[in-house]
A and B are shown apart, each in its own frame.
Chain A
Amino acid sequence: MQKMPQWADVVLIPLISLILAALLSALVILAIGENPWAALKLMVEGSLGSTYAWGYTLYYTTNFIFTGLAVAIAIHARLFNIGGEGQAMLGGLGVALIALFIPWPHWSLALLGGAVGAALFGAAWALIPAWLQAKRGSHIVITTIMFNFIAAALLNYLLIGALKPSGSMEPATGRFPEATHLPTFQDMFSTAETALFRGAPVNVSFFVALLACVAVWALIWRTRLGYEIRAFGQSESAAKYAGISPTRIIVVTMLMSGGLAGMMAINNVMGEAERLVLNAVEGAGFIGIAVALMGRSHPFGVLLAALLFGFLYQGGAELALWTSIPRELIVVIQALVILFTGALDNMVRMPLEAMFLRLRPAPKPARKTEPAE
């Protein structure tokens, strides 16, 4: 039996979860002696109040769309990819190598090359956990966590070693050449009279992220591969019966997932920093988990949730700047969103379902249905 209408599942439950998370966050702000309302106003002002503010919000949103889609696509195959962080780090490495060692004639080609490199490196980092899950049954959650740590160690090693320009003290690569610099929104939308998005890092990769949303949607709901991924995610035994190879689905899905996470690097590494620094990902890989859960693993939901987290992230930065509330408040909110939309889903769902059941008119005796098994 359908226990409640679909709109309730898609809209109402995430909304209530979000409100619960917001209320608790407000309590935290209250507890540390700040005014939640003032904080909210500051966040809205700082993240949506000007094109500059939007420029940061959308920059973060771009990151979170990529990592959110990465987690979401894996969830459709019932794979929980916690390795977005590490895959995004490797994506950064891919972008850096491509930008530094290939002479690009024009930014558009560099973007293309960077996207391919980022996706390849991210996918490669997801490949081993995927293969181990498919062939050896090693739990992908644990292996991807381990790969996050290994990625951090690897980047650490490269950035204080081989990739660091000689004479530099900072653990980072040299600056990418001019031709690989991506146009920012400022470059694209400012006119001679008015400068829009001045100094904000949002850049052309935002549109790549939007394209990725559409592509993932079409893939999941309109292609054979998407059908097979969803079937496998629902039931591995049924997938085998239908001739869908579990190994192929696990590996292909994780490659796409890792590739998407890696592609985040065209935004933060190529678009913003224009060089690869330590800890470039800044937890965006983990925020992707919250984004995917919040967005119900649907690309459109991911887009909305990424916007929300973009707002939170930029707003949180503003808070840290103007009040004594540290940036880590965002991590708390992120945790609460994951908790309510992911783990405590039933806490919100069960009372709602009971409510909808009560509201439902009694089944008519004339159309007797047999009890479903």
Chain B
Amino acid sequence: MDFLTLLQVLDTTIRLATPLLLACLAGLFSERAGIFDIGLEGKMLASAFLTAAVAAVTGSVLIGTAAGIGAALMLSGIHGLASITFRGNQLISGVAINFLAAGLTVVIAQSWFGQGGRTPQLSGSARFETIDLPLAGEMRGDIPFIGPIYAELISGHSLLVYIGLLAVPVTWWVLFRTRFGLRLRAVGENPAAVDTAGISVVGLRFAAVAICGLLTGLAGAYLSTGLQAGFVKDMTAGRGYIALAALIFAKWRPWYALGACLLFGFLQALALRPDVIESTLGFEVGVQLLDALPYILTVVILAGFVGRAIPPRAGGEPYVKER
């Protein structure tokens, strides 16, 4: 594999890692607050659809994204209602949300656009344009090695990619340097401590679930307007679950989440380039194996063979007051 091919694969890695990263950080906020969320997939899907649909109709990707975030927030609201207000089973709620999104997006898309459950192809201002960072053109040729890296790898992505990357330090800072973060972590470890300290457990958890909705909304918007040009049925294709896997892989920590999502993004990028693998390794690797690799890796990690992942202590348990 030559340098330029490597750059291309890495460039694809970043683009494929972005929806994973946004969804992973979304899950991080939710699960750090003690709300398990296997509904990341559904929220991304709902947002991907509504973003594309509204962008197609209005011609504005920003209005579309706002609508997509709205859709994800709605589903977050349902998850919050079920798992916080009515203390239901968070896993079951997540499963329901995934199906709800999978079904509703197609039903609505069909009735809205009549194109077999997809939105029209997006173009122009209905998509996120790539952003060329300053001096990218100049540096590409002028400075060896660093220049191409800057121009190919770092520059030339859409806004949401940079937002995703920026979300990592922001998440870290919010969690570990602010009052909100302290309370958020506390409510995921021991909600009774938060409650007896006079803070609303319900309020905090809803806030966390809302942030989760916002970030999955961005992830979905990127899928249908950044990565691809329009919505197609089931376009998340398990990314919500891979993000969940990345979250476990990352042990619920923001910087590790970046690493895990880049790794899984890299695997996905490789799966798109079987020729590269073959020329590098010297033998053919089944695409199916590469597809399955993130899941297999996650199982290996879950099995605790590569360091143990300890989830937030109160995760998955609805909070019931007791003395």
Contact = CB atoms under 8 A, between A and B. Distances in A.
Direct contact of A and B (CB under 8 A): yes
Interface of A: 28, 31-33, 80, 82, 128, 132, 136-139, 141-143, 145-147, 149-150, 153-154, 156-157, 286, 289, 293, 324-326, 328-336, 338-339, 342-347, 350
A132 B95 contact: no
Interface of B: 38, 78, 81-83, 86-93, 95-100, 102-104, 106-108, 110-111, 114, 117, 238, 241, 244-245, 248, 286, 288-289, 291-292, 295-296, 298-299, 302-304
Nearest to A146: B295
Main secondary structure of the interface of A (DSSP, over half): helix
A328 B103 contact: yes
15 contacts: A80-B92, A82-B91, A141-B91, A146-B245, A147-B299, A150-B292, A156-B288, A156-B291, A157-B286, A324-B110, A324-B111, A328-B102, A339-B100, A343-B89, A343-B92
A335 B88 contact: no
Given A138-B303, A332-B104, A346 B86 contact: yes
B102 A143 contact: no
A261 B59 CA distance: 47
A157 B244 CA distance: 25
A138 B92 contact: no
Contacts, number: 153
B96 A343 contact: yes
Contacts of B298: 142, 146
Contacts of A289: 92, 95
Nearest to A80: B91
B96 A342 contact: yes
A59 B93 CA distance: 28
A54 B156 CA distance: 58
Q: Which 9 residue pairs of A and B lie closest in terms of their CB atoms, listed nearest first? A: A331-B103, A343-B93, A335-B99, A332-B103, A32-B111, A342-B92, A335-B100, A153-B292, A138-B302
B21 to A, nearest CB: 19
Nearest to A349: B86
Contacts of A136: 302-304
A290 B4 CA distance: 50
Contact of B92 (A150, A293, A334): A293
Given A142-B298, A150-B299, 13 more contacts: A136-B303, A138-B302, A142-B302, A149-B291, A153-B295, A156-B291, A329-B107, A334-B99, A336-B100, A339-B78, A342-B88, A343-B83, A343-B88
A38 to B, nearest CB: 16
Contacts of B96: 335-336, 338-339, 342-343
A138 B291 CA distance: 22
A228 B303 CA distance: 26
Q: Find the residue from A331, A345, A346 having the highest chain B CB count within 10 A.
A: A331
A146 B238 CA distance: 10
A105 to B, nearest CB: 36
Contacts of A346: 86-88
A32 B117 CA distance: 13
B97 to A, nearest CB: 7
A76 to B, nearest CB: 15
Contact of B82 (A132, A332, A339): A339
Nearest to A155: B288
Contacts of A336: 96, 100
A31 B93 CA distance: 24
A293 B93 CA distance: 12
Contacts of B111: 31-33, 324
Contacts of A328: 102-104, 106-107, 110, 117
B241 A149 contact: yes
Nearest to B298: A146
A75 B261 CA distance: 32
Chain A CB within 10 Å — which of B78, B89, B99, B245 has the most?
A: B99
B245 A142 contact: yes
A338 B95 CA distance: 8
A154 B292 contact: yes
B82 A150 contact: no
Given A153-B288, A332-B104, A145 B38 contact: yes
Contacts of A333: 103
B57 to A, nearest CB: 16
A335 B117 contact: no
B288 A335 contact: no
Nearest to B108: A32
A346 B292 CA distance: 37
Contact of B302 (A143, A149, A286): A143
Contacts of A157: 286, 288-289
Given A145-B38, A324-B111, A331-B99, A344 B86 contact: yes
A346 B244 CA distance: 27
Q: Which of B91, B114, B304 has the most CB of A within 10 A?
A: B91
Contacts of B296: 146, 150
Contacts of B82: 339, 343-344, 347
A29 B173 CA distance: 45
Contacts of A33: 111
A79 to B, nearest CB: 11
Contacts of B95: 82, 286, 289, 338, 342
A155 to B, nearest CB: 9
Contact of A150 (B97, B106, B117, B295): B295
